[in-house]
A and B are shown apart, each in its own frame.
Chain A
Amino acid sequence: MHNLITNIEGCATALAETVNINLLYYSHLPTIVISLILGSFVFIKNKKDLSAKILFFISLVFSFWTFFDFVSWKSSNSVHIMFTWALLGILDALMYILSLYFVYVFIDKKDISFVKKIILVGLLLPIIIMTPTNLNLISFDVVNCWANDNSFLNYIYVPEIIVSLWIIILAIQRYIKADKNKRKEIFLLSTGIILFLFSFFTAGYLTEIFNNFSIEIYGLFGMIAFMAFLAHLIVRYKAFNIKLLGAQALVAALAIGIGSQFFFIQNPTNKILNGITFAISLGFGYFLVKSVEKVDRQKEELEIANDKIQKDKEIVEKANVELVNLDKAKTEFINIASHQLRTPISVISGVASMMLEGDIDRMPPEQRQKFYRSVWEKTKKLKFIVHDILNATSFANQKFSVVEETAETIDVPAMLGKIIGDFDMEVKERGIDLELHAEENVPPVKGQQKYLEEAFINLINNAIKYTPSANMTNDVRKKRERGERGRIAVSVKKDPGNPQNVLVEIADNGIGIPKEAKEKLFHRFSRAQNAVDMYTDGTGLGLFIVKEIAEGHGGKVWFESELGKGTSFFVNLPTSPKFNVDIKKRVAEDSKD
């Protein structure tokens, strides 16, 4: 019992001789608080983030180290001292290894490889093994009240040096490869962490050399430097995706700084004064943070509003471009349409003028017949173009849809037979075979015959235009020269995929549709892009009208085409359609194009 008392007295004396006890409070307790606050703050904000987890672990290990170190200084109990002292080495090495791990994950944003993990554990392993043995601590020095450690413990410098160099090399490598912003992050983080490890290492090393334990205390301030760099990373670069204002970080640091002074102020007056300063700082800090938060919120709102304006502007600009394009297409369309209207008019009026001038009367009957026929053909054409323009205009204003009450029951094969009959003379003249293949028992469809007729006339007209015939067009003529006869097969049957529907196919062996034309085939003015360079007969409205009519009947139209081989258009018509229901959908689809 006497020995123990002596021992305690001896320890107290030894402590007082080696280090200022107040400095011990100042160096150890605030650093624990700061590192724990920042570590757990980052962890709470990013529970799933690996780098946040590692950082939290580092702050824990650091806190344990600092606390144990504090106990080994402060305690007079040899058991406590021996226990905490023995664990310092392993915690020390662990801190270094975790720091390296942290740098990897923070910069690369991913976990390190298994091999690297093995290496890191390998570095730690000797210390783990040594810790409970007398390779670590040999005995307790009652006189100096400290542990006598084994020189094997110097192994601890191995992982410390390896890890420190590793971090420096890693940071430089990553820095070279990184972009400007990332470089700043890498620089701040690695500088902070190296400063921390370096001061820790240096302090420990100098302690050994000079055998002056108070130097070790200053190593802890490296942690503060690291935390400051980390806080700056968070404030400036939103590291860990944390939004922290500079003012918030500053007030927190101030509070910890002032608060920590309580540990070594002895004079009661100073304690009161420090308390007042502490309270005032907290109070002002609170208002400062609030007002900065408000400004920051406003700034954010402004940024969001700005973003929205920018986006709106882009939308308006895009719409403008589209409008300009549409306007161009319309102007071109008007040019073509007026050309298409003028052409038959000029022939009809030309022949009429020759009649008045008596030229036609003087002609032999066969020639006269040719002139009359040209008037007839041009009149048909004129009628057709006028129809197209009127329909397209009306469909553009309002989507076409069959009205249920006025829907007729239409026998599709009969209707197609009649249309094909009307084309008889034209196809004979052009040397094209136009045939109808109708399956038996094709169910009737509901709709408006006038419009359906127009749709099929349009499709058959197209097929004739692009199919080998005696009449012009070089590509088609080439086919004809190869001995291919123009052939258009119109077939009508129950849709094999859905017997409730009627499927019409108009297949030709014409020139096919070029790839670039396929996409916009069913659009209005699709032909109107470059009329002078790529002129073909027609207004470019026909397929748009066909699509509107087919969809207005609850059906659809599509095509298959191979360049040089021919084209098949398919029209699918339901026998008991639900009219009107999908108009909105059709409008939405059109606006998407």
Chain B
Amino acid sequence: MDKATGQIHALFVEDDPDQVMLYLTKFMIEGVTTVATDNEYDAMQYLLGGEFDIVLLDIMLKDKESGIKILKSVKENPKTKDIPVVMFTNYTKKEVLDEAARLGAVDIIIKSETTPKQTAEKIKEIVKNRHSSNR
């Protein structure tokens, strides 16, 4: 988080361009600067190269990419394992969501059940709590 401006930096892993456009726009309005990618390689490059407060991970990705796999990579890498990851998905299969929780996802947000504004607020809350608990 940018201490001067209070801006939050989020990484959004998503393969649907419409959703990328929608959430990036609204998050920006809500004070969350967001970068989007649709694959594991780029996601890890972003996380290793820059300071991100939070990761929003879609689960069902095209081309054999999988949010669960990316979550594993993030949590296995000592440089990225402390970044909170929120599963942000429309996939509601219980076993998969349970696995995400087990692997260390801090929260699971079902897209169709929230508005972009509510999601942005949730992100801010998670990041804020994290900072206060770290202090």
**A349 touching B112 in the complex, CB below 8 Å, given contacts A370-B21, A535-B61, A536-B62:** yes
Partner of B62, one of A359, A370, A535: A535
A537 at the interface (CB under 8 A from B): yes
Closest to A354 in B: B26
**A377 touching B18 in the complex, CB below 8 Å, given contacts A346-B90, A533-B64:** yes
Closest to B62 in A: A473
**A343 touching B90 in the complex, CB below 8 Å, given contacts A353-B115, A475-B63:** yes
Closest to A537 in B: B62
Once the chains are docked, how many angstroms separate the CA of A378 from the CA of B62? 17
Once the chains are docked, how many angstroms separate the CA of A354 from the CA of B22? 9
**In the complex the two chains form, is B92's CB within 8 Å of A339's CB?**
yes
B111 contacts across to A, CB distance below 8 A: 342-343, 346, 350
B81 contacts across to A, CB distance below 8 A: none
**In the complex the two chains form, is B29's CB within 8 Å of A359's CB?**
yes
**In the complex the two chains form, is A472's CB within 8 Å of B18's CB?**
no
A367 contacts across to B, CB distance below 8 A: 25
Give the distance to chain A from B13, nearest Cβ to Cβ, in Å: 13
**In the complex the two chains form, is A473's CB within 8 Å of B60's CB?**
no
**In the complex the two chains form, is A342's CB within 8 Å of B110's CB?**
yes
**In the complex the two chains form, is A335's CB within 8 Å of B117's CB?**
no
Closest to A357 in B: B117
A244 at the interface (CB under 8 A from B): no
Within B65-100, the residues touching A (CB, 8 Å) are 66, 68, 89-93, 96
**In the complex the two chains form, is A532's CB within 8 Å of B60's CB?**
yes
Q: How large, as a class, is the contact surface on chain A?
A: 20 to 34
A350 contacts across to B, CB distance below 8 A: 19, 22-23, 26, 111, 115-116
A302 at the interface (CB under 8 A from B): no
**A471 touching B17 in the complex, CB below 8 Å, given contacts A350-B115, A353-B116, A359-B29:** yes
B92 contacts across to A, CB distance below 8 A: 335, 338-339, 342
B116 contacts across to A, CB distance below 8 A: 350, 353-354
Give the distance to chain A from B126, nearest Cβ to Cβ, in Å: 20
Once the chains are docked, how many angstroms separate the CA of A164 from the CA of B39? 83
B64 contacts across to A, CB distance below 8 A: 533-534
B15 at the interface (CB under 8 A from A): yes
B117 contacts across to A, CB distance below 8 A: 353-354, 357
* Inter-chain contact total with CB atoms closer than 8 Å: 92
A531 at the interface (CB under 8 A from B): yes
**In the complex the two chains form, is A532's CB within 8 Å of B25's CB?**
no
B38 at the interface (CB under 8 A from A): yes
Give the distance to chain B from A533, nearest Cβ to Cβ, in Å: 6
B121 at the interface (CB under 8 A from A): no
A213 contacts across to B, CB distance below 8 A: none
**In the complex the two chains form, is A347's CB within 8 Å of B18's CB?**
yes
Give the distance to chain A from B122, nearest Cβ to Cβ, in Å: 14
Partner of A342, one of B21, B90, B96: B90
B123 contacts across to A, CB distance below 8 A: none
B55 contacts across to A, CB distance below 8 A: none
B125 at the interface (CB under 8 A from A): no
**Contact code string B25-36 (vs A, CB < 8 Å = 1, else 0):** 110010000000
A38 at the interface (CB under 8 A from B): no
**In the complex the two chains form, is B38's CB within 8 Å of A346's CB?**
no
Give the distance to chain B from A462, nearest Cβ to Cβ, in Å: 15
B59 at the interface (CB under 8 A from A): yes
Partner of A532, one of B17, B19, B29, B96: B96
Once the chains are docked, how many angstroms separate the CA of A342 from the CA of B58? 13
Give the distance to chain B from A363, nearest Cβ to Cβ, in Å: 8
B93 contacts across to A, CB distance below 8 A: 332, 335, 531-532
A349 contacts across to B, CB distance below 8 A: 112, 115
Once the chains are docked, how many angstroms separate the CA of A532 from the CA of B95? 11
**In the complex the two chains form, is B91's CB within 8 Å of A339's CB?**
yes
B68 contacts across to A, CB distance below 8 A: 532
The 3 closest A-B pairs by CB, nearest first: A342-B90, A342-B112, A353-B115
Q: List 18 A-B contacts (CB under 8 A).
A: A339-B90, A346-B19, A346-B112, A347-B18, A347-B19, A347-B22, A349-B115, A350-B111, A351-B22, A359-B25, A359-B26, A370-B21, A371-B22, A473-B63, A474-B62, A474-B63, A535-B62, A535-B66
| A interface residues, Cβ below 8 angstroms from B | 332, 335, 338-339, 342-343, 345-347, 349-351, 353-354, 357, 359, 367, 370-371, 374, 377-378, 471-475, 531-537
Q: Kindly list 8 other residue pairs between chains A and B, CB separation below 8 angstroms, not including A339-B90, A350-B19, A535-B60.
A: A338-B90, A339-B92, A367-B25, A374-B21, A377-B18, A531-B91, A532-B68, A535-B62
